[in-house]
Each structure stands twice: as C-alpha cells, then as structure tokens.
Structure 1
Amino acid sequence: MKKKRKSVSYAKWGYIFILPFFICFFIFSLIPLVDTIRYSFFEYYRSGIKEIGPNFVGMQNYISLLGSDMLKYAGNTLILWVIGFIPQIVVALLLANWFTDIRLKIRGKQFFKVVIYLPNLIMASAFAMLFFAMFSTNGPINSILTSLGWISEPIDFLGSVFGTRSLVGLMNFLMWFGNTTIMLMAAIMGISQDIFEACELDGCTSVKRFFYITLPLIRPILAYTLITSIIGGLQMFDVPQILTNGQGNPDRTSMTLIMFLNSHLESRNYGMAGALSVYLFIVSGILCFFVYRMTNGNNDDGYGSKAAKRKLKEARKGRR
C-alpha cells in the first residue's frame, strides 16, 4: 500500500509575517484615528490651569470651524500647492520624456538622476532655514543684487504676499520634482518600445507621440502622483511654519490648514483639532476620488490602453 503524503500548508506563515504590521497599525494608527473622531464631538480644552471637558457638544465644533478663518486658510493651502505643483509636474514630465527617449542618446543619465533626486533627501526644515537665511533683507541674495546695481534698497521677500508664497512654492518644487521625475521615468520605461516604433512608422511627431501615446499610457502613475501631491499639499506644514516663524505672515496669507490645526493643539483645544482633522480627511478623500475618476474613469483595463488606441487613431487621421 502506498503511504499518503501529508500535505504541508505554508499559508499560515504569510499571516504570521504580516501580523506585526497589523498590530502596530491597530495600536498607533487606527486607535488614535478613532479617538480623534470621538474627540471632535466634545468640548475639550485647557483654560489657564483649568481643564474644560470633555463635554459632549455634538456638531458644535464643526459649525464653529466654518465660522472661523478655516476657509481662508484652505484657500492659502490651495494657492501654495498650485504654485509648487504645476511647475513640478511640468518639469518632471519634460525631464522624464527626455531621459527616456532613446533617440536623444543622452550621456550620464545615472549622474543626472542622482542630481535630480538629491534635493528630495534634504529635510524640509533645513531647506526652509536655508531659504530664510538667503532671502532675508541682510541675506546673500539681496547683497548680490545690490552689488550688481540692480536694486538700490534690499527687497523684503518675506514681507510681501507674493514673495512669501513664491518662496514656499519654490521650495516645494525643488524638494519634490526629482521624486516625481524618477516615478514618471519608470512609468515611461515600462511602455513597450514597439508602440513607439509603430507610431514613428505612422509618421507621428514627437509632440503627438508625447500627448497621444506617452501621457495616456502613464495615466495610472499620473493619478498616483496627483493624489499623493494633493495629500501632501493638505499636510503642508514644515516649510511655511519655519519660514514665517509659525505666524503665516504677512497677514496670515501663508497660514495653511495644518498650521491652523497645530495652533489648536498648542492651545490644547483637542475638540476643535479633532473636528479640523475630520474635515481634512473628508476633503482629501473627495479630491482623491475625483482625481482618480478623471484620470482612470474611462479605462477598460486600468492601464490606459483604450485611451491610447483612441488617441493613436486620432493621430493617424490627423496625419492623413
């Protein structure tokens, strides 16, 4: 008689290996998240040495936030994000397209990749301190402009709305365009070269190739980049916090939502801070949903193949 072989199941080891992650997520993320939502319905703050609450107030914290300057700070956050993101995505797309185009035969690609990514390794606080020192009224930028005779008096970059917002946007651009470029390069390199060769045989120009072939096929990565950028923009804190010393000057035009949230945490107003956190969560969820639907809503397989085929047909018709 043949002995039956005892089958060994290794499925349980997978659950054992991922168990530490779920334990840490439950303790350090899920419980604080639920607690934050719970506190948003309570009046809970410190007045001097006296602690008020927690007293259940329902939706009062949410209503109070709508009557505060929250919407103004939301507008500031949006403006600062747009100033940094638009040049970031444009430059990243151009660099990624150039570095992955085999026809250009660019030498030293690895060196350029490292140089482009280096600013991403610098801490945001160090970046903010560097720009604060460079663009102050007694900083090297004003000294250089004065010595060249281009200006007669030092420019107060941090004293104007345009100057402060531009510096915040410039720092966000410099810190993140390298990371975006590397991701887009990986996405473009994942496209089959046969598609590019076919479009060249059909007479597509470089511009048509970029807009009709490359962009539709990297839509999932573009969606990911846009979603992570939106989340990062809503969480913008360290750069404007350090650059404006936490005041959002001038006239709080560079005060972001997270800086507003931090002010509630410093005053130990946990109820208002919790309500603002819930608002941020809802807004980020809605924005990410719309971005995903706009960038991937018409795909039949999630990889842009349907859009790419349609665009390729349009390009061929235009050539004829």
Structure 2
Amino acid sequence: MKKKKSSNVVKYNRWGYIFLIPFFVTFIVFQLIPLFGTFWNSFFENYRSGRQQIGPNFIGIENFKTIITSGLIWKYARNTLIMWVLGFVPQIFFSLLLGAWFSDKRLSIKASGFFKTVIYLPNLIMASAFAMLFFTLFSEGGPVNSILVNLHILKEPFAFLNDIAATRGLVGLMNFVMWFGNTTLLLLAGMLGIDPSLYEAAEVDGATSTQKFFRITLPILKPILVYVVITSLIGGLQMFDVPSVLTNGKGNPMETSMTLIMYLNNHLYSKNFGLAGTVSVLLFLITGILSFIVFKVSNEKNVK
C-alpha cells in the first residue's frame, strides 16, 4: 500500500512539472536567450553607415570604453534617478499614510473598497496616454496655464516643458499618480497581516498611534518595503514612455529629462546594435548594484 501511495504522489508531482514547462520555455526563449545575446552583441562592432552594413566585427571592450568615456551614460543615469526619486518619495509617503488609514479598524472608513479601486485605476491607464494628457494640460496654450492666468497667479503662460525643474517634476508627478495605488495595496496587504494583538498590547502600555506605527508597523513591513523599493527602482531605471512622449523623444530641455532607456532607444533607432547592447549591459549592472545596495543596507539595519 505504501508503495502505491508513494507512486501516486510521484505521478501527481509530475503534473506540477508539466504545467511549469510553458513558463520555462517562454522564459528561456524570450528572456534568457535575448539576455545572453545582448551580452554577446556588446562585444561586436555592428552598425549601419548609410546603406553599408559595418560588422559584426569582434572588438572586445571597445564599445564599453566608448560609452563610459563619453560620460553620457552617467548624465542620463543621474537624470533617471532624479525623476525616479521625485515620483517615489511622495509615492511611498502617501502609500504608507493611506495604508495606515485603511487598515485602522478604529477609523472604520466607509466605502473603503470603492476608494481602493479608485486609487488603483490610474495604474491601468497606458503611460503614453497619461503623458499625452499631461502634455496637453501643461502646454503653453493648455488649460493649466489658462486657469493660472485667469486667476492672476501668472501674468503670462509659463512654458512648463521648457523649464528643467518643471519637466522633471511633471515626469515625477505622473509616475507618482500612476503607481502609488499599486504600492498602497501592497503595503495595505502587509499591514492587514499584522497581528492585532500587538497593537492591543501597545495600547495597554500607553503607546501613541505614532509610536505604534514606527515601532510595530514599519519594522514588520520592512521586507515588503524592501521589495517595493527594489521593484520601483528597477522600474524607474527602465523609465521610457512618460518622458519620451512628454519631450518628443528628445529629453528636452537640454537633455535633462533624457533617460537611460531613451539613450538606448537612440542606438537601436540608428541601428548601432553594438553600442545598444553595451548600454543594456551597463544598465543591467547599474540596476544590480543599486538593488544590492538597497538590500544590503536594509539587512544591516535589521542586524543592528
């Protein structure tokens, strides 16, 4: 009987592996092979000069020297991180605030399900459509300038898209509006999983709401917070559609809103596949290093 049961378990487990096959096939074909292909292409000279195809010729690390010595990748990495921070800081602040409100049973917010749905809705809108909306709203002849001029806040229309701080601020604002709902639901799920008895014990000891949040909620939420920071960082470094549509792919003014992926896209558009592969590899390394730093810093705080 035991042999029959064990054989049935083995047969049952086989179906689990069979159902995993489509995922692994898709991952290998569409992600793993292109990843190795990108690394491989970064060591080759491969571009078009007019109608003539140059390469592919193996040139070693010359592409890496060209990209690094130009200094552009560091400039665009700084642009990308600035715009990511402008969107992420208010995003994490309001997500924690809303999560604390929705999870607090004493407040008993009515129609909380409706509000959760509403704050998540911007995440369902295409980023390009969102960027076109903001482009229309904040153009010199747009409704925002009209309202500000009619209210006598401004004497004349302000060129938001010709100002460095305003353009970066708009990109950060769009990223905040699109993603804070998703972050709120993630943090809220973590808060609802905290044992209520911990808060009850803290109340008996006379702890205030602020003390409970910083001494109980945040420490328990730390794994989810690390996940949110890392995934948001990865998404931020891959920022493309919002600044590209808002600035017509040029990163104006003066390329201060040009991101790493926009820089990569320029090489793909010019069919310089060697340099495009190099930028992809460097982006991969930058993402890995920054994610490792975030993970390491959070672990050190846990140890202390």
User: TM-score, normalising length from structure 1?
Assistant: 0.91
Mapping for residues 24-43 of structure 1, pairs under 5 Å: 24-43=26-45
Corresponding residue to 1:188 among 188, 191, 200: 191
> Who is 2:168 aligned against?
165
Shift of 1:149: 2.0
> Who is 2:224 aligned against?
221
Corresponding residue to 2:237 among 234, 237, 245: 234
Find out whether 1:150 has 2:164 as its counterpart: no
| C-alpha distance in 1 between matches for 2:162 and 2:257 | 11
| C-alpha distance in 2 between matches for 1:154 and 1:238 | 26
| C-alpha distance in 2 between matches for 1:184 and 1:3 | 46
> Who is 1:86 aligned against?
89
Mapping for residues 281-292 of structure 1, pairs under 5 Å: 281-292=284-295
> Who is 1:315 aligned against?
none
Shift of 1:147: 1.6
Mapping for residues 270-285 of structure 1, pairs under 5 Å: 270-285=273-288
Corresponding residue to 1:136 among 111, 135, 139: 139
SS in 2 for 1:67: helix
Which AA in structure 2 matches 1:156? Answer: A
Q: Gapped runs of 5+ residues in structure 2?
A: none
| C-alpha distance in 2 between matches for 1:233 and 1:28 | 22
Find out whether 1:269 has 2:272 as its counterpart: yes
> Who is 1:316 aligned against?
none
Does structure 2 retain, via aligned residues, the 8 Å contact 1:161–1:250? yes
1:203–1:267 Cα change, 3 Å: same
> Who is 1:23 aligned against?
25
SS in 1 for 2:284: helix
- Give CA deviations for 1:119-167 in whole Å, capped at 9, x if unaligned: 1111100100000000000101111112222222111000110110010
Mapping for residues 197-216 of structure 1, pairs under 5 Å: 197-216=200-219
> Who is 2:14 aligned against?
12
Shift of 1:296: 3.5
Shift of 1:5: 4.5
Does structure 2 retain, via aligned residues, the 8 Å contact 1:219–1:296? no
1:159–1:298 Cα change, 3 Å: closer
- Give CA deviations for 1:84-107 in whole Å, capped at 9, x if unaligned: 100100111111011111112211
Counting matched residue pairs gives: 300
Q: Identical aligned pairs, as a percentage? A: 59
| C-alpha distance in 1 between matches for 2:123 and 2:22 | 29
| C-alpha distance in 2 between matches for 1:210 and 1:11 | 43
Q: Gapped runs of 5+ residues in structure 1?
A: 301-306, 308-320
Which AA in structure 2 matches 1:91? Answer: F
| C-alpha distance in 2 between matches for 1:190 and 1:4 | 41
> Who is 1:256 aligned against?
259
> Who is 1:304 aligned against?
none
| C-alpha distance in 2 between matches for 1:167 and 1:255 | 14
Shift of 1:11: 1.7
User: TM-score, normalising length from structure 2?
Assistant: 0.95
Shift of 1:299: 4.7
| C-alpha distance in 1 between matches for 2:19 and 2:46 | 40
Shift of 1:172: 0.3
1:46–1:108 Cα change, 3 Å: same
Does structure 2 retain, via aligned residues, the 8 Å contact 1:220–1:296? no
Corresponding residue to 2:69 among 67, 70, 80: 67
More divergent stretch after superposition (268-277 vs 5-14): 5-14
> Who is 2:51 aligned against?
49
Shift of 1:293: 2.1
| C-alpha distance in 1 between matches for 2:230 and 2:21 | 28
Would you tell me which structure has more helix in proportion to its own residues? 2
